[in-house]
Structure 1
Amino acid sequence: MIKASVIVITYNGRHHLDACFRSLEKQSVEAHETILIDNGSQDGSADFVRRNFPRVRVIESKTNLGFAGGNNLAAKEASGEVLVFLNDDTEVSPNWLERVLSPFDSDPRIAIVGCKMIDFFHRDVEVRVLCDLFGSAINDGIPRTPASHGYADVFYVPGFALAIRTAVFREVGGFDDSYFMFAEDIDLDWRVLLAGHRMVAVRDAVVYHKFGGSVPGAQIVAAEARPFRTALWKREMGERNLITTVLKNYHAWNLAWVLPSYFGIYLLELLFFLARQRPDVVRAYGRALIANLRGLRRTLRVRRGIQAMRRVPDRTIIRQTRMGSVKLLQARKTGFRIEISS
């Protein structure tokens, strides 16, 4: 079987680590190596893993490099043929790694493999990620379905449990360090698809995720209408990175209609929060836009490299997205009750 480097990233997540690594110890196949990347934690995470899981290789960063930078650092040190990125707030089923690696052996065109995602706290709830053509995504909770063999092509594999061929990761430039966190996974997925590779989700590779465990603000949209809660800083960083992702990855012809559509929804959001007397949210959206204007020169430089490696047209990728805006879908599902903490 293909050699895998399992990379677990943490930042002050010591309380998650025991369960995560114990589930990795119970795997039906052994990873080539398991790496903890400690993103400048101050809670003793690195020492805890060294003491309790001596076979795990620990890499410590003196500062918090974010999800993107931390995983890039670990990827440079990894020696496996496949990099398996895993959040610290996850547990995996005993055959998870075996199932995740199987597609890589079956089809050399497959570059990224995702999992069957289950809510850690409500294990009868399966989570499907809905992603639109703007790169916006929501975690949609549905009744859990029985695991079945096989896999299906997808547009988006979330970064909390993502396996990628090491050669492809390096080919497309890894995660974009400038993102820090949020949307760095969709950006990576998008570039891999543009380069002509396949991306699939395995139906019987089960990962249990504490949505919002590592980073407050992540939430599953439930079947029943209830408020959607997130944080102001997350919305600002998320919007900033989504704009950058769209600018980098679409062909110029499609940017001519995608950008106006994106900012049309953006304007609706601003009007919504103004009506809710939330000028702080409006200012956060404004800062996200200003950050993109300031970073436009770099974005255009990176964009040229991405477009140069393009092997497939945008329409091939767009067909795999959800039509319409998932932000509007989320608003409807929550009864337009969106609560953003300052």
Structure 2
Amino acid sequence: MKPIALAILNWNGKSLLEKFLGKVIDDSPEGEVIVIDNASSDDSVSWIQQNHPEIRIIENNTNTGYAGGYNEGLKEIKHDFVVLLNSDVETTPGWLAPILTRFQSDDSIAAIQPKIRAYNDKEYFEYAGASGGFIDSLGYPFCRGRIFGHLEKDEGQYDEAMPVFWSTGACLAVRNSAYQECNGLDPMFFAHMEEIDLCWRFQRSGYTCWVEPKSCVYHVGGGTLDSLNSRKTYLNFRNNLVLLTKNLPRHKILPIIFSRLILDGLAGIQFLLQRKPKHTIAIVKGHFHYYGMFNKIMRERSGQFPWPLTGVYQRSIVRQVFLGGLKNFSQLAQSSFVRTKTVVDRK
């Protein structure tokens, strides 16, 4: 058995499989390609069977979303390492070997992402993960190469492999034993930020998350919900609050949530000024639904809650961008990032 599997979650995605699956197979001789089908109603499964009979298909009985689909699928995948690969990712020759080498170099590594460029503008980083994910003191995620909506051109400025706070779910390579130990992805998120939650829990358990820019792929993006969809706004704001409540030390939760209430209110006003009232309503709904979930989340918290962790920017990225005019990751003071030493002993 090959040491690494490439698990592609599919739901009615025949057109994407037709476009990208063949290249994934050609570019990935080190891995076994597996498709996890989330109860598709199109003919994507039969298309795979007819055109790529060598590919193993795991068929889920129901569509349980991104998190649930992968959790079910990985119960049947026994490889040491698994890449959770979006069906809208174009791979490149040799992309998988650096990830496998990085995993084998350090048992403390639980997650690795490649460098992610935009499929539709290949000189630029892609929104979903760019060259590694970080988070600021108030819980706003951003990337090396992408801060809020600003995407940088990839000129090799972020080609250093390094530990990060989170690795993107668009192409998330995980150590299978760590994934199972940390109970996998949380279905509560439905979509958006579930990989940040997983990586946060990896770090809380003593593992590290990395970006390996020697590996590069291209991501189409927007496959679940595009940026103009108010449902995406709702999920982003709600899930960010859930993320913080699940993982922050208890004494940090209320002060940060109060700060976010103010800042998210300002974001809602900005949407109104832009004549996007549906997005303002989405933010309000996200907050009220989160408040309804708060007690349940607090009851289910368990484990250790160290803070800050590797990849935390100890200032406010909102302040740096909207008051300081910052656009690029390289303009941030690198001394403000946390880099902790992680020790994992599983013997």
TM-score band by shorter chain is 0.7 to 0.9
Q: Extract unaligned runs of 5+ from structure 2.
A: 143-147, 328-347
Structure 1 stretch displaced more, 143-152 or 197-206 = 143-152
Structure 2 residue 53 is the aligned partner of structure 1 residue 54: yes
Q: How many Å separate the matches in 1 of 2:247 and 2:233?
A: 21
Taking the TM superposition and a 5 Å limit, the aligned residue runs for 1:1-342 are 3-27=3-27, 29-31=29-31, 33-127=32-126, 128=130, 131-133=134-136, 134-137=139-142, 138=148, 140-146=150-156, 151-212=161-222, 214-217=223-226, 229-303=227-301, 305=302, 308-310=303-305, 313-317=306-310, 319-320=312-313, 323-325=316-318
Instruction: Tell me if the contact between 2:135 and 2:141 (Cα under 8 Å) persists in the aligned partners.
Output: yes
The one-letter code of the counterpart of 1:51 is Q
Q: Return the TM-score normalized by structure 2.
A: 0.82
Q: How many Å separate the matches in 2 of 1:56 and 1:154?
A: 33
Secondary structure class of the residue paired with 1:153:
strand
Q: Deviations over 1:122-160 (max 9, x none)?
A: 222233366433143446422223499862111121101
Q: Return the TM-score normalized by structure 1.
A: 0.83
Secondary structure class of the residue paired with 2:202:
helix
Instruction: Tell me if the contact between 1:130 and 1:326 (Cα under 8 Å) persists in the aligned partners.
Output: no
Change (3 A) 1:169 1:233: same
Q: Deviations over 1:169-198 (max 9, x none)?
A: 111111001111111111111111121211
Q: How many Å separate the matches in 1 of 2:299 and 2:2?
A: 35
Matching residue of 1:226? none
Instruction: Tell me if the contact between 2:109 and 2:210 (Cα under 8 Å) persists in the aligned partners.
Output: yes
By how many angstroms is 1:316 displaced? 2.9
Q: How many Å separate the matches in 1 of 2:196 and 2:56?
A: 27
Secondary structure class of the residue paired with 2:79:
coil
Q: Deviations over 1:200-240 (max 9, x none)?
A: 1111111111122x2241xxxxxxxxxxx421111112222
Secondary structure class of the residue paired with 1:208:
strand
Q: How many Å separate the matches in 1 of 2:26 and 2:65?
A: 28
Secondary structure class of the residue paired with 2:121:
coil
Instruction: Tell me if the contact between 1:174 and 1:188 (Cα under 8 Å) persists in the aligned partners.
Output: yes
By how many angstroms is 1:276 displaced? 4.3
Instruction: Tell me if the contact between 2:178 and 2:202 (Cα under 8 Å) persists in the aligned partners.
Output: yes
Structure 1 stretch displaced more, 274-283 or 55-64 = 274-283
By how many angstroms is 1:297 displaced? 3.3
Q: How many Å separate the matches in 1 of 2:168 and 2:162?
A: 15
The one-letter code of the counterpart of 1:145 is E
Change (3 A) 1:93 1:139: farther
Matching residue of 1:337? none
Change (3 A) 1:216 1:283: closer
Q: Deviations over 1:229-255 (max 9, x none)?
A: 421111112222111101011001222
Q: How many Å separate the matches in 1 of 2:119 and 2:70?
A: 23
Q: How many Å separate the matches in 2 of 1:140 and 1:189?
A: 23
By how many angstroms is 1:37 displaced? 1.6
State percent identity of aligned pairs: 25
By how many angstroms is 1:278 displaced? 4.3
The one-letter code of the counterpart of 1:301 is R
Secondary structure class of the residue paired with 2:29:
coil
Cα RMSD, aligned residues only: 2.8
By how many angstroms is 1:318 displaced? 5.8
Q: How many Å separate the matches in 1 of 2:7 and 2:319?
A: 30
The one-letter code of the counterpart of 2:241 is I
Q: How many Å separate the matches in 2 of 1:73 and 1:155?
A: 25
By how many angstroms is 1:46 displaced? 1.5
Q: Extract unaligned runs of 5+ from structure 1.
A: 218-228, 335-342
